[in-house]
Chains A and B, each alone.
Chain A
Amino acid sequence: MSGDWPLWEVFVRSRRGLSHTHAGSLHAPDAELALRNARDLYTRRSEGVSIWVVPSTAITASSPDEKDPFFEPAADKPYRHPTFYEIPDGVKHL
């Protein structure tokens, strides 16, 4: 039966100030029930303060076949990482 139901992706914000993080997916007949199922499946042990559900079909994902053109060029450009700066001693929380 759940095979007939659409798949939803669940995003949970664990604390105020943090962003929503992908927690998993579930089946539900509509958005309202998806939200409730997400509450039962992913926030039972006080993992969250806010939930988003998104139909899985609404997500456009990069394809594993395109992995190289998408991500490879970034790997050999270490100058893009902020690792060439001296960090003054006074700077905290970095």
Chain B
Amino acid sequence: MDTGAALALGDDALVLSHRLAEWAGHAPVLEEEVALANIALDLLGQARILLSMAGDEDELAYLREERAFRNLQLVEQPNGDFAHTIARQLLFSTYQRFLYEALAGDPVFGPLAVKAVKEVAYHQDHAEQWTLRLGDGTEESQGRMQRGLDALWRFTGEMFRPVEGLALNWQKLEERWLASVTAVIERATLRVPGGPRTGAWAAGAGREGLHTESFGRMLAEMQHLHRSHPGASW
């Protein structure tokens, strides 16, 4: 089996899981902290299965260098404020949900996709509920939500570049994603960002191992314990 696809999907889940876990102890309210941690743990579970398909999960998570990670640049973006995190989650969970739905019949990823799609549907719902409330909320919350979407929009084109090993209609996936995200953004009385999603001014080469500035620091934090104490256990 070609491990490239398992690595790409596994790294998406792992990296976003870690970003969400960074909210622990910092979320605006306790209830929301638990919600974000739950999403992080769902993603970590998916990452473990996917990375195990590609090799040794610990080795892959803790001992790879930055350039060997295949995750989308979107998921490695720093949390920013709560609205920024919600924007990232809306854009990614909508993608991941439709991706897993499309993979339901896949001989390799089907079993995982069928199980994980229920988790992801909840992640998407959580992000949608918050997008609606922040967007159609106060002037302050609307501004923050809009800035989050605007800042992350240029990372969304990368999601639909074909991944080797995944037999999918990527164009259809993108159309579904855009229609769904647009509907939520408009219901939330926000603007669909006007910036480019593809081409020279867009971002996104994470699948080729090129990552953005903050990713190195995130990895250092994620990997340092395992690298300092190899093989340590509780």
Chain A min CB distance to B122 (Å): 8
Interface residues of A in 1-32 (CB under 8 A from B): 1-2, 5, 26-30, 32
Interface residues of B in 48-106 (CB under 8 A from A): none
Q: Are B29 and A1 in contact (CB under 8 A)?
A: yes
Q: Are B35 and A37 in contact (CB under 8 A)?
A: yes
Given contacts A29-B133, A32-B129, contact A37 B31 (CB under 8 A): yes
Interface residues of B in 1-60 (CB under 8 A from A): 28-32, 34-35, 38
Q: Are B129 and A2 in contact (CB under 8 A)?
A: no
Q: Are B38 and A2 in contact (CB under 8 A)?
A: no
Residue A44 at the chain B interface, CB threshold 8 Å: yes
Q: How far is the CA of A40 from the CA of B20 in the complex (A)?
A: 15
Among residues of B, the one whose C-beta sits closest to the C-beta of A33 is B129
> What is the interface size of chain A, counting residues whose CB is below 8 A from a CB of the partner?
16
Q: How far is the CA of A33 from the CA of B28 in the complex (A)?
A: 15
- Complex partner residue of A36 from B28, B30, B126, CB under 8 angstroms: B126
Q: Are B28 and A40 in contact (CB under 8 A)?
A: no
Q: Are B29 and A41 in contact (CB under 8 A)?
A: no
Q: How far is the CA of A29 from the CA of B31 in the complex (A)?
A: 11
Among residues of B, the one whose C-beta sits closest to the C-beta of A35 is B129
5 additional A-B residue pairs with CB within 8 Å, beyond A37-B32, A40-B34 = A2-B28, A27-B31, A32-B129, A36-B125, A39-B122
Pull 11 A–B residue pairs with CB atoms less than 8 Å apart, ordered by A: A1-B29, A2-B29, A2-B30, A27-B29, A30-B133, A36-B125, A37-B31, A37-B32, A39-B122, A40-B31, A40-B35
